[in-house]
Copies of this chain bind each other. A is one copy, B any other.
Amino acid sequence: MKDSQPLTWLGSKLRLLDQTNLPREEVYLELAGYQEVAQAIREMKVRGAPAIGVAAAYGVALGALEIETSSRDEFMARLKSVLETIEATRPTARNLFMATGRMQKAAEAAGSVAEIKEALVREAVRLHSEEAEATRKLAQFGADFIKNGASVLTHCNTGSLATTGYGTALGVIKYAYEQGKKLRVFATETRPRLQGTRLTAWELRQAGIPFTLITDSMAGHFMNRGEVSCVIVGADRIAANGDTANKIGTYSLAVLAMEHGIPFYVAAPTTTIDPMTSSGEEITIEERSPDEVLNIQGVSIAPEGIKAANPAFDVTPHLYISAIITEKGVVREPYGERLGEIV
């Protein structure tokens, strides 16, 4: 797993690490069509906003390669349906729509069908490398906030698996650790999909960073005991005013952090910022199947036939956020002005 990449472009196929099987099995899929990519995104075989964006771009490229016509008009009409299929997979992550937007633009700018296909593959590869580089840079900016001896709480998975690069929140933690700082991490398990237990624990162990896994419900307890120096999380969509949608449970952590006077940081590439969404109220929150709450890894844990809610994200109002860390620098209040300057 040392060099495990969640996504690798193979020229006419997308190699994808199936994250739903981790940490038990390291299974790679080779996806040859956009429908397969759409399914992988929907089923969270690839997840994490930046990785979803990259997968979406490759999905569009694969979709373009599948279209057999020399008519530009017909090609563009069919490409539209590819874009719509990819966009319909998950509604919250900004990076998905940023990626399809860029791909559409790249298609429109190119000439013949052959040129468009080439341009789309090139654009997907470019987006992939930009995203990987962005997290490396933001990790560097963010590491300044992690003091030597700090105890950092993080939520969900925001490492290489989630970003195809260095990681957002987990990237910051890794960077600080590589600087030689003594750190301790609290990783929340992140119900219902257990990304903390399955993925973050795996990445932290690999990086050799000391950590303790906790249930989501334990965060307040450890904050109240003075055992948490700061909280750092990723983001799925950042509105123009700084309100941030991220994995369900993030908002509770932000409230708890403020109550205890603990800084709360969001780390994300600028591709997660959505200037067209003015505030968190406009962000669509994906509601996933109740089965994710009622079953754990295929084992039913609940009485039959009961009702469960499963919003995959929540929104943290910008007032709870101490700083937003991006590859273009660190943004603080007033977010409305400053986010506009860097996007």
Contacts and interface: CB of A to CB of B under 8 A. Distances in A.
Given A202-B303, A218-B248, A220-B252, A213 B293 contact: yes
A192 B214 CA distance: 9
Contact of A248 (B221, B293, B308): B221
A282 to B, nearest CB: 15
A216 B191 contact: yes
A244 to B, nearest CB: 13
Nearest to A255: B259
B256 A213 contact: no
Q: Is the interface of A mostly helix, strand, loop or mixed?
A: mixed
Interface in A1-51: 23
Q: A191, A217, A251, A314: which has the most chain B beta carbons within 10 Å?
A: A217
B252 A314 contact: no
A192 B212 CA distance: 15
A221 B253 CA distance: 11
Contacts of A305: 205
Interface stretch (A103-111, A128-136, A193-201): A193-201
Contact of A301 (B197, B218, B221, B311): B197
A309 B307 CA distance: 30
A299 interface: yes
Interface residues of A, number: 49
Q: How many copies does the complex hold?
A: 2
B296 A297 contact: yes
Contact of A201 (B201, B220, B306, B314): B306
Contact of A314 (B190, B224, B251, B296): B224
Interface in A198-250: 198, 201-202, 205, 211-222, 224, 248-249
A343 interface: no
Contacts of A307: 211-213
A86 interface: no
Interface of A: 23, 188-192, 194, 197-198, 201-202, 205, 211-222, 224, 248-249, 251-252, 255-256, 259, 290, 293-294, 296-297, 299, 301-303, 305-309, 311, 314-315
29 contacts: A188-B217, A190-B217, A191-B217, A194-B301, A197-B301, A201-B302, A201-B306, A202-B303, A212-B308, A213-B293, A213-B294, A213-B307, A214-B293, A216-B216, A216-B217, A216-B249, A217-B248, A218-B249, A219-B252, A221-B248, A221-B311, A222-B309, A224-B251, A224-B314, A252-B256, A255-B255, A255-B256, A256-B256, A296-B296
